[in-house]
C-alpha cells in the first residue's frame, strides 16, 4: 500500500530560522493521525507545505506520490488554522463556493451538517460567533470525499462542548477510505479518535507511533506521553 503522505528530508527555512529540518515519515491511507507538538513546533509549516502554500528549502513532500500542486488539490481537503471566508458572504455562498471549486463536494452532506448546527444559510458569515464560523468551515471541509484531510488546529479556538461536536463531526463525515491528519497541541481532547501520532518539536520529528502501541507497550495515554516527552 503506497503512502498517502510522505516526507523525505523535508526542510523549510525562513531566513536563518529552520521551521522544519530533515523531517522524514510516511502515512498510510485509512488512518487518523495526530500531528502533535507545542506551539511553534512546525506543525502549520508542514501542513502549508503539503498544500503548496509554501515550498521546501530542501527535501521533498509527496501527496499520493505527487508533489503538491493542481492534481493534489483535487484529493486534499484543507482546514487552515484561521477562518478565511469573506465576512460579507452568506453561509450559502460559502457552500456554493466549495461546490464550484471541488468536484468531490457533497452539497447535501454540507447542508445536513449546517442544519445540525442550527445555522441559517441566509445569514452573513460575519454575524456568526467565532466558534460557529469554525464549525461551518469544518463542515464544508468534511463534506468532500477527499483522500487526505489536513486539519490545522480544528479545536484550538473553541470551548470544550464545541470540541466534542468537532470530534464527532470528523468521525462521522470523513471519507472512510481517506486519511485524516489533525494538527493540535490539545492532546487530551483529541487522542480518543487517533490511530497514530507524530510528535514534532522545533522542526524535528521526536516520535512516530501507533496509539495502541503507546497504550499497550508504554502503559500511558497519548497525553501522558506527550507531557513526558515535552516536559509540560
* Strand arrangement of the beta sheet that strand 76-79 belongs to: 76-79, 148-152, 179-184, 32-36, 196-201, 204-210
Domains and CATH numbers, the chain: 32-53+70-197+205-230 (3.40.50.300)
- Summary mean pLDDT of the chain: 91
Please tell me the predicted confidence (pLDDT) of residue 222.
93
Tell me the pLDDT tens digit for each residue of 100-158: 999 999 999 999 989 887 888 999 999 998 888 888 998 899 999 999 999 998 877 66
Cα torsion angle, 155, 129, 148, 170, sign: positive
- Banded pLDDT at 168 (limits 50, 70, 90): confident
Using CA atoms, how far residue 161 sits from 133, 167, 172, in Å, is 15, 10, 17
Strands 148-152 and 17-27: unpaired
What pTM value is reported for the model? 0.92
C-alpha cell at 44: 502549520
Tell me the pLDDT tens digit for each residue of 187-213: 888 888 899 999 999 999 999 999 999
- Banded pLDDT at 167 (limits 50, 70, 90): confident
* DSSP at 227: H
**169-184: average pLDDT:** 83
Query: Whole-angstrom Cα distance, residue 18 to residue 8?
Result: 16
Please tell me the predicted confidence (pLDDT) of residue 72.
96
What end-to-end distance do the CA atoms of the chain give, in Å? 36
Query: Whole-angstrom Cα distance, residue 79 to residue 137?
Result: 7
Q: Is 88 helix (H, G, I), strand (E, B) or coil?
A: coil
Query: Whole-angstrom Cα distance, residue 220 to residue 25?
Result: 23
CA geometry: angle at 157 spanning 39 and 37, to 5°? 25
- Does the pLDDT of residue 39 top 90, yes or no? no
DSSP code per residue over 37-68: --TTSSHHHHHHHHTTSS--SEEEEEETTB-S
- Banded pLDDT at 10 (limits 50, 70, 90): very high
C-alpha cell at 24: 522524514
Amino acid at each position: 500500500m503506497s503512502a498517502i503522505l510522505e516526507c523525505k528530508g523535508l526542510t523549510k527555512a525562513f531566513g536563518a530560522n529552520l521551521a522544519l529540518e530533515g523531517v522524514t515519515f510516511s502515512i498510510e491511507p485509512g488512518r487518523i493521525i495526530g500531528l502533535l507538538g507545542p506551539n511553534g513546533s512546525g506543525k502549520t509549516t508542514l501542513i502549508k507545505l503539503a498544500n503548496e502554500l509554501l515550498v521546501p528549502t530542501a527535501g521533498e513532500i509527496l501527496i499520493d506520490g505527487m508533489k503538491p500542486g493542481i492534481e493534489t488539490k483535487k484529493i486534499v481537503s484543507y482546514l487552515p488554522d484561521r477562518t478565511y471566508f469573506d465576512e460579507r458572504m452568506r453561509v450559502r455562498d460559502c457552500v456554493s463556493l466549495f461546490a464550484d471549486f471541488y468536484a468531490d463536494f457533497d452539497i447535501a452532506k454540507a447542508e445536513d451538517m449546517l442544519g445540525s448546527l442550527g445555522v441559517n444559510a441566509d445569514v452573513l458569515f460575519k454575524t456568526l460567533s467565532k466558534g460557529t464560523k469554525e464549525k461551518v468551515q469544518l463542515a464544508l471541509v468534511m463534506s468532500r470525499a477527499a483522500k487526505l484531510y489536513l486539519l490545522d488546529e480544528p479545536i484550538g479556538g473553541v470551548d470544550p462542548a464545541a470540541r466534542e461536536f468537532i470530534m464527532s463531526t470528523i468521525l462521522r463525515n470523513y471519507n472512510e477510505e481517506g486519511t485524516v491528519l489533525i494538527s493540535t497541541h490539545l492532546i487530551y481532547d483529541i487522542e480518543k479518535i487517533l490511530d497514530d501520532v507524530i510528535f514534532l518539536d522545533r522542526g524535528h520529528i521526536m516520535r512516530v507511533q501507533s496509539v495502541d502501541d503507546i497504550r499497550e507497550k508504554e502503559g500511558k495515554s497519548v497525553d501522558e506521553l506527550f507531557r513526558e516527552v515535552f516536559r509540560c
